[in-house]
A and B are shown apart, each in its own frame.
Chain A
């Protein structure tokens, strides 16, 4: 808010530059005899270097195509892409979050990649089912898998030792998890057993969705027309949060979703349920274990993945063909392997993830990655591909935060968000 005026000018100036820049390179085409394509992505640091290396490799191997990279912030990628689409100069390829997929599919210039992924050389079935689910909206393939992840328990080894609690095991139930969190909690030293990301965003919601699936519940009914989470299974998952956060007070409720890692590194939090991206930020001895199960539920171990997509925009046939060629190359097993080894990002292809040599090498670099890679097989379901998912996510997010803060009962939270979900689905 402050410095608004000067900031506005700065924004205007950078927009002007961007427009000029795009006009310069966007539709460049074939001045050098090559087809120029532009890719927007948000990799930084290690990932950024590895990605640039891959692009350079591709460019030097190519006589007909040249790929230029424009760095964007992934969080704002959709806003930027929408602006560019409106201006008639979309990128040829953009990295877009999977949770946007149903809405991205509504953009007319998004290219249907069905014919590409059906080529035998692509070996589409080699991508994990969760990734394929997120690329596909109403039968249209709107992208190629860019990233895959999942959630597991990451725990502080020394806190478990100090409290004399046995570390998480694959046979753990949520009751074991709860009991351990309680023992790890000490109000005197302000130590908590677990931390929950509670900013009511999708980051809050998908963690609970994994629990819902483990309890045997579903997010929506099979025809995606009504909420299905307001069920005994949903209540079981929601009650677990309530019992831990409100009854045991063993949960650090991170309402700004910005402090859990610092506190984990300061030995104040025993367990996180998080993804592989957090491992490189941990400076204390840690272990990784798959998520617990609900006793009596037949759903067993599950997890959730938030895969992201490379989306192609139509800038004419030549550009589209070039973009497809590049993406096919980028997502081929050899490149997936190179990128995963360099960055520690989970392999997007099962053939790479099942390669013991790759897994061992990755695990040596960043301990725990092996568990995360193996945990991909526990990603058995995907979030529903409906355009009103943002509204559903917001309703659920606020309900979960309400329960964690003790402001709503689990049943009240479910009823309220189910009503909002049904309304959003009806007006879709």
Chain B
């Protein structure tokens, strides 16, 4: 772009132009090469290596990794635990993504005003992102502790019987949803807050003059103009939801009775606990394809309703 607009009116001899652009290329590559190198070595190479691994039988222990073709992939449909893991991942994603976005939007809307000390409130909203996952997990494990936790104490005060939470196979996954929604809300707030501040005041004023109520303005003007942020959050949160691992690892380790075993936890378990690295790599590639498809669908749907305020 820059070279095109900066081209002098009288075209110089082609040799010089080519040389100049070549040296510009070289400088460009020099700037990005450290990042390219690091991403290449620690990002791309492992990705390619795990693709090879998915066609091999490997326990990570022995150097012999016989090529087994598609055998790892053929094993997947008959794996009952993996089916459970998919089910749990879908339930988790379907709850986590909308909940985080709704909570984030409500808080962002509340913070999008000029009052004394607003920066303190905004910092407070973002603080959940600054808390390390391990601290978050420890706090939530005690909050949702069945006998001594604050949550059950609160419920009992209003007459609801004691729940087992993380100890109950029917409830554990929902506790993890609550925990991660809390953890990611700060992120959604920041994105929505930035987007809200980009909504032009004149459009809202015009609507108000036309007699629109505050909720109508929000629904018909503000929310559509937030749609790029909404699409971004939906995609970003979905990818992260499908890759849920840390919170499960830190609290339930996939239990009780596999009730919180999600896809990434299951493939970690296969690779590093059960020494089935080849099979785990095949699972990882299945997950990768699923994420590609879901993201593609999200963009296709998104393009229909996203308004870019240009």
Contact = CB atoms under 8 A, between A and B. Distances in A.
Interface of A: 1-4, 8, 12, 15-16, 78-79, 82, 86, 103-104, 106-108, 190, 198-201, 252-253, 255-256, 258-259, 263, 268, 387, 390-391, 394, 398, 401-402, 405, 407
Contact of A255 (B167, B245, B246, B272): B167
A106 B253 contact: no
A103 B59 contact: yes
B133 A2 contact: yes
Contacts of B168: 405
B180 interface: yes
B194 to A, nearest CB: 18
Contact of B245 (A1, A198, A253, A390): A1
Contacts of A201: 253
A255 B255 contact: yes
Given A103-B275, A106-B62, A12 B38 contact: yes
A397 B130 CA distance: 35
Contacts of B240: 1-2, 4
A189 to B, nearest CB: 10
Contacts of A12: 38, 42
B106 to A, nearest CB: 20
B251 to A, nearest CB: 6
B243 A1 contact: yes
Contact of B251 (A8, A200, A256, A263): A256
Contacts of A398: 255, 257-258
Given A255-B256, A256-B253, 13 more contacts: A1-B246, A2-B133, A82-B61, A86-B60, A200-B256, A201-B253, A252-B147, A253-B167, A256-B166, A256-B252, A258-B138, A394-B274, A407-B169
Nearest to B251: A256
B155 to A, nearest CB: 15
Nearest to B249: A1
A269 B187 CA distance: 40
A215 B243 CA distance: 44
B61 A106 contact: yes
A401 B167 CA distance: 10
Contacts of A255: 166-167, 252, 255-256
A190 B145 CA distance: 12
Contacts of A190: 147-148
Contact of A200 (B63, B247, B255, B274): B255
A29 to B, nearest CB: 24
A301 B60 CA distance: 39
Contacts of B257: 200, 398, 401-402, 405, 407
B129 interface: yes
Interface residues of B, number: 42
A282 B40 CA distance: 49
A159 B272 CA distance: 41
B55 interface: no
B141 interface: yes
Counting from the closest, the 10 A-B pairs by CB-CB distance are A12-B42, A255-B167, A106-B61, A190-B147, A1-B246, A200-B255, A82-B60, A106-B62, A255-B256, A107-B61
Given A12-B42, A201-B253, A3 B141 contact: no
A402 B147 CA distance: 19
Contacts of B180: 1
A190 B257 CA distance: 25
Given A79-B272, A256-B141, A1 B255 contact: no
Nearest to A401: B256
B167 A390 contact: no
26 contacts: A1-B133, A1-B180, A2-B129, A2-B133, A2-B183, A2-B240, A3-B133, A12-B42, A78-B272, A79-B272, A82-B60, A104-B61, A106-B59, A108-B63, A200-B257, A252-B147, A255-B166, A256-B252, A256-B253, A259-B145, A263-B148, A387-B275, A391-B274, A394-B274, A398-B257, A402-B257
Nearest to A82: B60
Interface in B180-196: 180, 183-184, 187
Nearest to A398: B257
Interface string B266-279: 00010011110000
Interface string B234-270: 0000001001111100011111111000000000010
Contacts of B167: 198, 253, 255, 405
Contacts of B187: 2
B275 A199 contact: no
Nearest to B264: A1
B254 to A, nearest CB: 8
